[in-house]
Amino acid sequence: MQMRVAEPIIAIHHVSRRYVRGVDEVHALEDVSLSIPQGHFAGFMGPSGSGKSTLLNLVSGIDRPTSGEVIVAGQRLNDLSEDELAHWRARHVGLIFQFFNLIPVLSSRDNVALPLLLTHLSKAERLRRAEVALGIVDLGHRLHHLPRTLSGGEQQRVAIARAIVTDPDLIVADEPTGDLDARNAEAILSLLRQLKQDFGKTVVMVTHDPRALRYVDDAYHLDKGLLLEGEDAERARAALLVAAGHGAAPTGAAAGVRAQP
């Protein structure tokens, strides 16, 4: 019997995104195609202005392509109205931001429970699920702490708990280590890897951090709106590691960088 090949959770076909800025047309992405399997940890990497954040916004349903097709979790996002897209995003995507975006006057538990206000769950159930999510990120002892009483690493873990509390198919992280010191950055990357390994989550992350190469299953390098492939992607990866003081990168798969076990 022939085995059926699982559909990728993310399939992007010939996607371009252009913006009109004054009298200029900005080509943020040009003819990008890629697929990401269910349960993978993928990184979008590249210099500022390379198009990686634009690509992340398309994958998460925050933005729409100018042309091409974006399919995520079996849904062709091009077909959805703005309201439908908002409902789809609330159900399927958990968002993690660089600057945490926590509400200062709410406790850790109440911050994490916020996405559940869009559901029909009772208050007691919302708080219970928030406590479970905080336990997963090892902050069960910080339920009632306000953001200002937490370290930067703890605040980011609260933000990760908020992203997973709805049990989304896809976790999207935009520079999640950008505002953290080296120790906390490693801890957050390890936690994202754990969500992939222990819970089967698909994680897609935009990052400049070369340490991410040790955690992701696949790294996609972009430059000037183009997805680099082959030797171009390998050179981009090597340059990233050299700039970070890690020496030349070993040769290997250009677009896919294998993570640590």
d(CA 72, CA 58) in angstroms, rounded, equals 10
- Average pLDDT of the chain to the nearest whole number: 88
Whether the pLDDT of residue 256 is over 50: the answer is: no
Name residues whose C-beta falls within 8 Å of residue 98's C-beta, 6 or more positions apart in sequence: 174, 175, 176, 178, 179
Whether the pLDDT of residue 25 is over 60: the answer is: yes
Whether the pLDDT of residue 249 is over 60: the answer is: no
Task: Please state which CATH number belongs to domain 38-64+80-243.
Answer: 3.40.50.300
d(CA 42, CA 188) in angstroms, rounded, equals 15
pTM score over 0.75? yes
Span 165-214, pLDDT tens digits: 999 999 999 999 988 889 999 999 999 999 999 999 999 999 988 889 88
Which residue blocks in 114-213 are alpha helix, DSSP H? 123-136, 152-164, 182-199
d(CA 85, CA 43) in angstroms, rounded, equals 24
Give exposure, 33-42, as e/b (b: 16+ Cβ within 10 Å). ebebeeebbb
Nearest alpha-carbon partner for 94 in 148, 48, 133? 133
Residues linked to residue 251 through DSSP beta bridges, in sequence order: none
Span 112-147, pLDDT tens digits: 999 999 888 999 999 999 999 999 999 999 999 999
Residues linked to residue 75 through DSSP beta bridges, in sequence order: 72
Nearest alpha-carbon partner for 187 in 195, 166, 129? 195
Place of tokens 């210099």: 47
Span 209-243, pLDDT tens digits: 888 988 999 999 999 999 998 888 888 888 777 76
pLDDT band at 57 (very low <50, low <70, confident <90, very high): very high
